[in-house]
Chain A
Amino acid sequence: MENLKVIGKPVIRKDVLDKVTGATEYAADLFIPKQLYAAVFRSPVPHARIKKVDTAKAAAYPGVRSVVTGEDAPYSYGRFIKDQSFLARGKVRFLGEPVAAVAADTLEIALEAVRLITMEYEELPLIDDVMEAVKTGSPLVHENWNEYKMQNGAAPLSGTNICDHTKVRKGDIEKGFQEADVVVENTYWNSMVSHAPIEPHSATVKVEPSGKVTIWSATQSPFYIREEICASLGLPDHMVRIIVPQIGGGFGGKLELRAEPIALALALKTNGRPVKLTFSRHEDFIAGVVRAPVLIRAKTGAKKDGTLTAFQGELFWDTGAFSTTGPRVCSKATIILSGPYVIPNLKVDGYTVCTNKQLGTAYRGFGVSEAAYVHEAQMDAMAKALGIDPLALRLKNIMVEGSRGPTGEVFTSVGIKECLEKSAESIGWNNGPISWVTKDGKLRGKGLGTFLKFTGTPSYSSATLKLNLDGSITIAQGGTELGQGVNTVMPMMAAEELGIAVEKINMAAVDTENVPPDKTTTSSRLTFHMGNAILLAVNDLKEKLRKLAAVVWGTDPGAVRIENGILFTEGSDGRLGDKQVKLDEIKKSGLLKAGPPLLGFGSFETSDIWDQPDPETSQSERLAIMWFLGANGAEVEVDPESGLVRIIKVSAGNDVGRVINPVGCMQQIEGGIVMGVGNSLMEEMIHRDGKLMNGNMVDFKVPTSMDADFEMAINLVETAHPEGPFGAKGVGEPAMCSVQAAIASAVGHALGVPVTSVPIKPETVLAVLRGKGEGR
């Protein structure tokens, strides 16, 4: 691992020039010859029985080529429960649900024709409060779960709105609380948040006469959506091709099908003409996907000396109208709700609940940000109750090498203590009070956050290295570039391992027909999983190069070696022999012309290490190939007159295992911090009577570059992962998982009252300061 030439050295991302000059073609920019334009008639009400959908006028409108309703496309899909139809059938379950769609010669015509569609309906009771939705006798979003085809991964409770229940049981919870000298208990709320990527959902679908389906989509996970489409239509994998152009941001929101099924329903009826559907910004808000709102109850017990004895929690995950990936998000949050602390007795129940709202699904952090702010607010409350410094309380209970986590797993490569200490040091935790009043009357506070997260396991990645005849390399793989830098990091790893320049390696466009399978671009998994696949592919390629050289040089393959970028015959003393070729100069050597073209293939998967968790306890010897642990610190200033919170500084301690590209790594973390600030202070989707009030970029407040005007102090910790490529772990989500927790902690210290609702609103702050509110 010493003398690395590429890994750990800053490399400018390969896509930067195209992106900053606006040359990059995103899915929404595509034009496929003969394409038609789609527009969607969406439900104007959140919950209703459909009586009649009248599309006759739209179908007769000049320039309209195809009109479909749910009955024309009787197909369903869903990650764990196949509860979604391509277009609504029988019922609508949220305001904005697609009911009918039009494909026309121009977008203007399509939009005009959609206005001519009408729906007769009978309104049903609105289910918009997650705590009402779980009550016995609540009206139901889905009357009969048994109607749907189930995949493994979610188990709905019949006759309820609960589509899954995750349980964590460890030790003896009653004994744990009996042993406690102090118990703190609170209820917390997280609001609904839009991913708000710069590019809305966009898909273009072509159905050839043979039945072959081609989809150009800004999807994070082409192989996963291919699986869904194939299951829906009953097609074999090779009859569905997903092509992924450049993607304008995903953050988890482009994991699942969204625009694709609607465009496909139309394209099945356009005689081979492609159909393009791009959501408007408003459609992206009302009918895209979101980070689900959640109510969490937490109860922590500790001894006088600060030793944690028990943690109990309940999560009510408001996943909206359809189950989507919600059950898995809730499950992850449930498992890690107690945080990166050693707590012998746990009882946590997570309920994923359907309501008549936007669809909650994966969002950068996958439930961890929401849970982290809860366990951290509990730690602050406990510190206050015990009269112990909040950092000291955390450090007393923090997981270390060999600790058992919430699922009973023994942890290795644990860098959290250093992450937390550095995060605290970077905000000067020990150099003064953690809350004070400035000369001009502002309230300052410092806070800390930690998190615990794991990557989805089992999963798989594979990669092919094509050795071009000039010695350059093209990597074919299915991980998608979302801005996170995968198209730079993968070539770097291959370059290091081969000993050639990173400039000689590029990534092929992602197309399920031409690249080998990959599970998904989610769960901060690519650097680790695809990285391993690439290293295996490099080994395979080296092996083939050695064999080729042996033939040409007339020697035994065993006598040919590759080291430090040189292919050579081994001399008698183990040193360089008489034949040697630098891989960087392999074209000149003529070696490649002497044999057939070479490919290296690498395939990596993790089912062999996975111990399926017990469904009653979530206990597992090994739940995940990789756990992420990290911390943040924050200093904030609260204006007691306006209620506004200003970020002074955010620090980070991220255990990335091994830094591959320091530039990309720092940028990833900076971006995560700013996104966390947005979650903490601004972003919230607001509903009245089932209707989204702020479905636009003015009223849904994503931070601007001007809001990133605070100081950041990022500490990279490198606790190598024994199974990671060069020891690397993921950083995409860990970059932001405890930012919200740290900011909420800092505001809590500034106010003297824990924050129990996020985002932290000025109204709440003023109410707390007047002693009327309790932080929500």
Chain B
Amino acid sequence: MIPKFELYVPKTVKEVCGLLKEIGRDSVLVAGGTDVFVEMHNGVLNPLYLIDLKKVQELTGIKGDEKSGLDIGAMTTHHEIETNPIVRKYYSVLYEGVNAIGSLQVRNRATIGGNICTAAPSADGIGPLLVLNAVCFVEGSGGSRKVPLIGFFPGPKRTVLAQDEILARILVPPVNGTYGAAFFKYGRRKAMEIALMGITAYVETEADGVTCRQARIALATSAPTPIRAGKAEAYLRGKNLADKAILEEAGRVASEEAKPRGSWRSSMEFRKSLLENLVPRTLMRAYENMTKG
């Protein structure tokens, strides 16, 4: 049963930040509500105030293109993202990630900003944004600032936002069409699933088409926060991406540097062995997507 709360429905970012400054300590922001209301129902959250962001126009919409980069409002739903033609064509890994969230009904409510600010280590939407080097545009009562997404999560289920700040927009850099990326979610069913483990891979090659210029690997449910597998990325630089043994070694490195938790859902060893087995496959898919593109 949802506990009683007082509801605020501000219309501008300025209003939101003002409210946060005043009552932020006792408030919870609601974007799509697909996490907030579940947690209130379960008794995990019991805030005095809810601040609903749905009427804040400034937080909506997808602007830009592959040349200028994307500017995605935090209140953009996953369904808007997964049906956006530019996302589908040039940022298909982001499509793959958000398409794996919940179900169509959930994606129709839940937002990309909510997915990021819930800061779950399992978030499906974060991995693709991490390998695309996305930047968070944060607004507060004192002004705005930019925070790289990789620096947005200081700890489990925590963000760098101050009490009076909100995530306003997500900025995704331009892409030049010479990269390949792939997303993989490990779960027991095909919808309404929380990733037991998630991998997003991004690769660019030198002119020869095989030598790795840059690799980026984001891992979900593999550490207390969403992470990049920096050691595996560094290992791959300059290596031959068409060589299966290289990719397998990258899997071992990524598995080594990941710090998944063991729980009744799955042992740490099993999660590590999945990383070892599946990072190479995801890298290979990323590489194939590049050569296809």
Contacts and interface: CB of A to CB of B under 8 A. Distances in A.
Contact of A704 (B1, B190, B267): B190
B273 interface: yes
A525 B278 CA distance: 48
A682 B191 CA distance: 13
B277 A709 contact: no
B292 interface: no
A763 interface: yes
B270 A108 contact: no
B78 interface: no
B189 A701 contact: yes
A127 B190 CA distance: 36
A28 B244 CA distance: 57
A704 B189 contact: yes
A401 interface: no
Interface in B235-293: 264-267, 270, 273-274, 277-278, 281
A642 B274 contact: yes
Given A642-B278, A763-B270, A111 B188 contact: no
Interface string A671-711: 00000000001100010100001100111010111110100
Contacts of B191: 704-707
Interface in B1-45: 1
Interface in A97-151: 107-108, 111
B189 A682 contact: yes
A681 B188 contact: yes
B178 interface: no
B152 interface: no
A703 B188 CA distance: 9
Contacts of B281: 641
A418 B267 CA distance: 45
Interface string B172-205: 0000000000000010111111100000000000
A22 to B, nearest CB: 14
Contacts of A709: 190
B102 to A, nearest CB: 10
Given A641-B278, A766-B273, A706 B188 contact: no
Residue of B188, B191, B274, B281 with most chain A CB atoms under a 10 A cut-off: B188
A699 B1 contact: no
A762 B186 CA distance: 11
A681 B188 CA distance: 8
Nearest to B43: A111
B103 interface: yes
A763 B281 CA distance: 19
A699 B103 contact: no
B277 A642 contact: yes
Nearest to B251: A641
A704 B106 CA distance: 14
A698 B192 contact: yes
B293 to A, nearest CB: 21
Contacts of B265: 699
Nearest to A111: B1
Contact of B189 (A108, A642, A707, A763): A707
Contacts of A641: 277-278, 281
B280 to A, nearest CB: 9
A701 B1 CA distance: 23
A701 B278 CA distance: 23
Interface residues of A, number: 25
Contacts of A686: 264
Contacts of B270: 762-763, 766
A158 B8 CA distance: 64
Contacts of A698: 192, 194
A171 B273 CA distance: 51
Interface in B144-194: 186, 188-194
B264 A688 contact: yes
Contacts of B264: 686, 688, 693-694
Nearest to A684: B188
B186 A642 contact: yes
Interface in A580-631: none
Nearest to A441: B281
B281 to A, nearest CB: 6
B71 to A, nearest CB: 31
A703 B266 contact: no
A704 B194 CA distance: 14
Contact of B190 (A699, A706, A762): A706
A107 B193 CA distance: 31
B103 A701 contact: no
Contacts of B273: 766
A703 B189 contact: yes
A705 B270 CA distance: 28
Nearest to A708: B190
Nearest to B276: A641
Which among A641, A682, A686, A699 has the greatest number of chain B C-beta atoms within 10 A? Answer: A641
Interface string B77-100: 000000000000000000000000
Contacts of B192: 697-698, 704
Contacts of B190: 704, 706-707, 709
A106 to B, nearest CB: 10
A698 B193 CA distance: 7
A583 to B, nearest CB: 47
A705 B190 CA distance: 9
A389 to B, nearest CB: 32
B194 to A, nearest CB: 6
Interface in A613-664: 641-642, 644
Contacts of A111: 1
Nearest to A440: B281
Contacts of A705: 191
Contacts of B103: 704, 706
A766 B273 CA distance: 9
A48 to B, nearest CB: 23
Nearest to B192: A704
Interface in A756-775: 762-763, 766
A688 B262 CA distance: 14
A682 B188 contact: yes
A641 B244 CA distance: 14
B33 to A, nearest CB: 16
A299 to B, nearest CB: 33
Contacts of A107: 1
A762 B266 CA distance: 10
A762 B187 CA distance: 10
Nearest to B196: A762
Given A107-B1, A111-B1, A763 B188 contact: no
A642 B188 CA distance: 10
A708 to B, nearest CB: 9
Given A641-B281, A704-B192, A706-B190, 12 more contacts: A699-B265, A701-B188, A704-B189, A704-B191, A706-B103, A706-B189, A707-B190, A707-B191, A762-B188, A762-B270, A763-B267, A766-B273
Interface of B: 1, 103, 186, 188-194, 264-267, 270, 273-274, 277-278, 281
Interface of A: 107-108, 111, 641-642, 644, 681-682, 686, 688, 693-694, 697-699, 701, 703-707, 709, 762-763, 766
Closest 8 CB pairs of A and B: A641-B277, A706-B190, A706-B191, A704-B191, A693-B264, A707-B189, A707-B190, A701-B188
9 contacts: A107-B1, A686-B264, A699-B265, A703-B189, A704-B192, A706-B190, A706-B191, A707-B191, A766-B273
